[in-house]
Amino acid sequence: MQLDGRTALITGGASGIGWATAKAMAREGAKIAIADIDRDKIEQRVTELGGASYGIVADVGDLREIDRMIHAVVSNFGQLDVIVNNAGVTRRCAFMDIDEELWDWVHRVNAKGVFFCLQRAAREMIPRRRGTVINIASIAGRGYPGTSNAAYAASKGAVISLTMQAARALAKHNITVNAICPGVTRTELAQSIMDLRAEKEGVPMAEIEAQAAQGIPIGRMNEPEDIAAMAVFLASDGARNITGQSFNVDGGLIMM
Ligand SMILES: NC(=O)c1ccc[n+]([C@@H]2O[C@H](COP(=O)([O-])OP(=O)(O)OC[C@H]3O[C@@H](n4cnc5c(N)ncnc54)[C@H](O)[C@@H]3O)[C@@H](O)[C@H]2O)c1
């Protein structure tokens, strides 16, 4: 197993991409901690995972909660080897309708949350001279025209650029930092955006989904497992010399 003996913390791990990543990493032998704001779902997920898995309710937009989360994970497992900064929020909004409230809501979790989770996790990894940070960005941060809104795209651009800065700062401690940029991925978040589009445009859901798949060169949307597979690789020994990179997993939507 590729992740035997490692411990991995996945933020936003109770649904979608985070949950698929938790399951995939557990299958590869990692001990899993799931952090999320959804208490009921965490309990359900920890029961499903079984074994040594651990759940913690934490809001990654709040620095005190980040500190409590990392402290709890290290107290429980004795170490932290991998953090997947996956928690993220958005909703569909036209460019001219973006207001301060939407901007702050999105950036608090997607940009500030990712930075301070990774910085706090690095404080545990540096003394051990090992660690893997995986940030879940988006092709929205690379100019994808179908983004939910411009504030979200900017928050994901921030994740891509702080991945490079963190990789530079932490390389001397043998810590790798990479990002994954998912394309359109079948999760609750994507579903809520497509539902709203179907309602606004009066188009059946099946047509919205078909349109989404049609625009993708490979001809299909991602399943959350497609992102999880890349996360497992980035956490494995095979990726030990890869750092500062952002990888698109999007069926060819954005080729850069
Ligand atoms: N689904 C897509 O098409 C898509 C595409 C590109 C990028 N992404 C990114 O992938 C990541 C996961 O998205 P998803 O589609 O699985 O979403 P999702 O809504 O299915 O799951 C997100 C999880 O994060 C949790 N969460 C939200 N705010 C939180 C907070 N403040 N603290 C802790 N947990 C919080 C939610 O409770 C939920 O369990 C996000 O960063 C998203 O931006 C998704």
Nearest alpha-carbon partner for 66 in 17, 22, 121, 106: 121
The fold for domain 7-185+223-246 equals Rossmann fold (3.40.50)
The atom of ligand 1 lying closest to the CA of 185 is 3
Beta strand 54-57 pairing with 175-182: unpaired
pLDDT of residue 88: 98
Alpha-carbon span 157 to 152, nearest angstrom: 9
- State whether the beta carbon of 55 lies less than 6 angstroms from ligand 1: no
Between the alpha carbon of residue 26 and those of residues 20, 54, 233, the distances in Å are 10, 12, 13
**Test site for ligand 1: of 40, 112, 189, 192, most ligand atoms within 8 A of the Cβ:** 189
Choose among 24, 75, 31: nearest CA to 51. Answer: 31
User: Can you tell me which residue has the tokens 């890349």?
Assistant: 230
- For residue 5 the two structure tokens come to 């003996």
Looking at residue 139, its pLDDT comes to 98
- CA–CA dist 3, 166 (Å, integer): 23
Instruction: State if residue 111 touches ligand 1 by the CB under 6 angstroms criterion.
Output: no
Residue 246 Cβ contacting ligand 1 at under 6 Å:
no
| Across 74-89, average pLDDT | 98
Q: Give the CA radius of gyration of the chain.
A: 17
Coil/strand/helix, residue 58? coil
Task: Please say if the pLDDT value at position 212 is more than 90.
Answer: no
Ligand 1 lined by 226 (C-beta under 6 Å): no
Instruction: Assign 194 a pLDDT band (cuts: 50, 70, 90).
Output: confident
Q: Which residues are catalytic?
A: 152
Give the whole-angstrom CA distance, residue 59 versus residue 204. Answer: 35
| 141 CB near ligand 1 (under 6 Å) | no
Could you tell me the residue ranges of all domains in the chain? 7-185+223-246, 186-221
Which protein residue has the closest C-alpha to ligand 1 atom 36? Answer: 12
pLDDT at position 100:
98
Task: Compute the distance from residue 143 Cα to the ligand 1 centre, in Å.
Answer: 19
Amino acid at 244: G
Closest atom of ligand 1 to CA, residue 152: 43
Quote the ligand 1 centre to 51 CA distance (angstroms): 25
What confidence category does residue 3 fall into, taking pLDDT thresholds of 50, 70 and 90?
A: very high
Q: Do 181 and 246 form a contact (C-beta atoms < 8 A)?
A: yes
Q: Cβ distance 59 to 36 under 8 Å?
A: no
Give yes or no for residue 134 having a pLDDT over 90: yes
- Check pLDDT > 90 for residue 196: no
* All residues at 6 or more sequence positions from 69 whose CB lies less than 8 Å from its CB, including other chains: 9, 11, 35, 56, 58, 60, 117
- The CA 157 to ligand 1 mean position distance, Å, reads 16
For ligand 1, whether the C-beta of 11 sits within 6 Å is: yes
Cα-to-centroid distance, 85 and ligand 1 (Å): 10
Q: Ligand 1: which residue has its CA nearest to atom 25?
A: 12
Average pLDDT for the chain: 96
